[in-house]
Every structure is written in C-alpha cells, then in structure tokens.
Amino acid sequence: MSAQRHSDLIRAEAHRLGFAFVGFARAERLDSEASKLEKWLQQGAHGRMAYMENHFDMRLDPRLLVPGAKTVICLAFNYHNPARQTDPDAPKISQYAYGEDYHFVVKDKLKSLLAYMQTEIGEVNGRCFVDSAPVLEREWARRAGIGWNGRHTLTINPKRGSNFFLAEIICDLTLIQDDPIRDHCGTCTRCIDACPTKAIAPEGYFLDASKCISYLTIELRDTLPPEFSDKMDNWMFGCDICQDVCPWNRFSERHQEPAFEPHPELLQMTRKEWVELTEEVFARVFRKSAVKRVKYAGLVRNIRG
C-alpha cells in the first residue's frame, strides 16, 4: 500500500479511538530546538525537575528512541470538562485531573492504534509515548499540524483550543507529512497578564516552570516558597488560569471519554471537607487519578498552604 493509504488508515483508526487530531511529521533531529532547550535548562527554568537535564540528545532526536524511525505520529486527546466545583471557595483542581490518570487511558489507546497498524499494514516497529519520555511533544505537535505553541507555551489548535493531551507514536513507517500551523496568538497577552506568579516571560513563549503553579503543586516536593504563598489562587493540584483566559478555548468542546468523568464526590466537596481531608477520602476520590502522584501529604500541603 502507498504512504497515502497508510496515512489515511492510521488517521481514520485514531479518530475511531477517540483522538481529536492526528498529524504526521518526519522523524529528524530538532536542531532548531537545541539552543532553546539549552537556554531553558541553563536558566534553571525547570526548577527541581532534574530529570529534564537527562537525555539531552535523545530529546532532540526521536531516532535515538526508535532506531530507524521515519515518522512521528502526533495525536491530541480532548479532556475538556466545563463543570466546576460547586463550592466557589473550595481549593481548585485542574480539569485534566478530574478523572482517571491520562497516562494510562491515552497510552492504552495508543497501544491499540499501534497494534492496528501492525495488523493492517504489516511489520511496523514503533513505540508509544504519553508525557513520560524525553520527547519534545509540543514541537512535534507543531510540526505535525496539530497546533501552534502559544505564548503560554502550550499547543493551541484553532478548532478546539488547548484543552487536550498530546501523545506520540514514533515508528519506522513512511507517512505523508502534515504542514505546521502558523502562530495565531497575534498581539494577545491574556495568559501573560493573568498568571499570578509571572511564570510566563513578558513577551511570552518562555515558561519558568519553577514559578508555575502547576509545578509548585505537583512537581515540587519541598515546602512551598514563601514568595508564592499569596499567589497560588487557591489551586491544590495544577492550574488552568492561562488556558481559561485564552480566547481560543471558546472553541473547546466537552470530552466524550467515560474514564475522564470525575469521581461523584470530587466536585461536590466543600472547602471545609477539603481542609479536613482524610487519607481514606483521598484514597477513595483519587483511586485512579493523576492526583495520586502528589500523595496525600502533598495534597494536604497544597490545601493548607
């Protein structure tokens, strides 16, 4: 079969599995990103995420992850849920973490897609990635036409905004490449202006993760820095501010994935119930959630400051 036929098959099956967008990019070294990544690391913008310093060359070249790789298949999976917590004073949780851990939900779909490729096309050597390996996923998404990298550094699609997970299959199959989408942020600086901790550079396109509320509530294991104590905006896990103010997210549509539905108690809990959170309730509400990453003690730290 031709590369076009293979591309069409993969795209159709990916949509059937629930992926909102699919794009193909040539697997090659990201020479243009090397200096950006080096600058980001040298400035300490990765905070305590020491793992970001590892596998520098591998982050730039997918062929080091999958020998003989020819294509990076980029996919986007919608997680948008407009529902909000009923108590306006309750500590907030990022909507991407309402349901089951996306690492497992999306990874299972990727594995199904790769298995389909191997069945329908033949011997295909590939690996699946969901935010868990040295892959510069936003740059690959840009190259594959999924969206452009906005001023807040997240991928924005002109039809759906930015409320989706990115995932990749790096494989040795030659496919028809997609064209990148040009930047449509224009003169808008809403994300920069709205960030309480000023984590986004004044001109945008550079995120100091060590100041980001998502980093502070999830990645940082130590005591919250005192300079941010009054700037957390009541977030206990993650942060949606820069996405909530983005005009492109007016096009977001509610997800259709049952696994991403919140636990029945999650959105109903009051501030008092969160402040008095027990390990038993934590284990029940977040049994399959990405929130388990911070553990009970970490979430309590975030809630109580």
- Determine the residue type at 91: P
Does 131 qualify as catalytic in the annotation? yes
From the list 8, 61, 87, 131, the catalytic residue is: 131
Distance between CA atoms of residues 80 and 258, nearest Å = 12
Q: Which residues does the annotation mark as catalytic? A: 131
